[in-house]
Amino acid sequence: MDIRTFAPGNYRFIEGVSQYSAGVAALDGHEIVRVRFRRSVPLAEGFGRVEAWLGEAGRPLTAFCACELRSPEPFSEDGFRTFNQRYTETLDRWGILHDGWNPVARSNVCPEIGAPAEPGFHAFCYTRPAKAAAPSFVIAGSGETVEGQANYRDHIVRLGDTGPGAIREKAEFVLAAMEARLAALGFGWSDTTAAQVYTVHDFHPVVADMAGRGVADGGMTWHFARPPVVDIEFEMDCRGVAVEQIA
């Protein structure tokens, strides 16, 4: 995995796909702050609130480094591409798209119960100066498929199968992706402050194995939600941040 530095945002990132990077970490002398909205905020309004928050914090728009989105239901592949184009237009306007790369890490999931009426923000992260700050990072969401290909469907692990064995294989694939991204930035599960699982399927048989690998060292939260694209069934993200706020 290739790591690039986004100096205007004071963070480095793992090269990803056009809609997001695979993860970010604050540069020395800076820390990542996570801000969660009490309820999902529609995309346009959410970008406006992020912009206002950064302004009040005295930070440039380029300090925006990660976000967690919520959508009404899983997208078709074409629908996901259309949504991503809409999303990245704002990042481009903010001067964040960098040398053909999108440095911002992201997850985007669909609550099975109480889903929003339209796509919007659940949380966002930004960098700020901090003397002697502990290293902080956010690993982007990933499901049981290979990213960066012509489509997701042809690369989904155990496509259409949600039996116990399939869920285990899907989870193993996702865990490997999380661990590879953590390692690329120089971290491991012991450095995380939170791990999040997104699925509507019973993954209890895998929980002990996950805990044994250290996934739950900083706490593990299960969101009863689906990944953002039809037929993907299991997704995770994780982070290591010292400051979290509620907006």
In the prediction, which pLDDT does 49 show? 98
Cα separation, 113 vs 34, in Å, equals 24
Cα separation, 133 vs 116, in Å, equals 35
Cα separation, 192 vs 181, in Å, equals 12
Residues of the chain with pLDDT under 70: none
Cα separation, 35 vs 54, in Å, equals 11
Please tell me the total number of residues recorded for the chain in this structure: 247
CB 162 within 8 A of CB 202: no
3-state secondary structure of 33: strand
Our measurement of the distance from residue 121's CA atom to the centroid of its chain's CA atoms, rounded to an integer in Å, reads 12
3-state secondary structure of 180: helix
| pTM for this entry | 0.97
CB 46 within 8 A of CB 138: no
In the prediction, which pLDDT does 99 show? 84
Which structure tokens are listed for 175? Answer: 């865990």
In the prediction, which pLDDT does 100 show? 86
In the prediction, which pLDDT does 234 show? 98
What is the b/e burial string over 174-213, where b = at least 16 CB atoms within 10 angstroms of the residue's CB?
A: bbebbbebbebbebebebbbbbbbbbbbebeebeeebeee
In the prediction, which pLDDT does 98 show? 81
In the prediction, which pLDDT does 114 show? 97
In the prediction, which pLDDT does 23 show? 98
In the prediction, which pLDDT does 8 show? 98
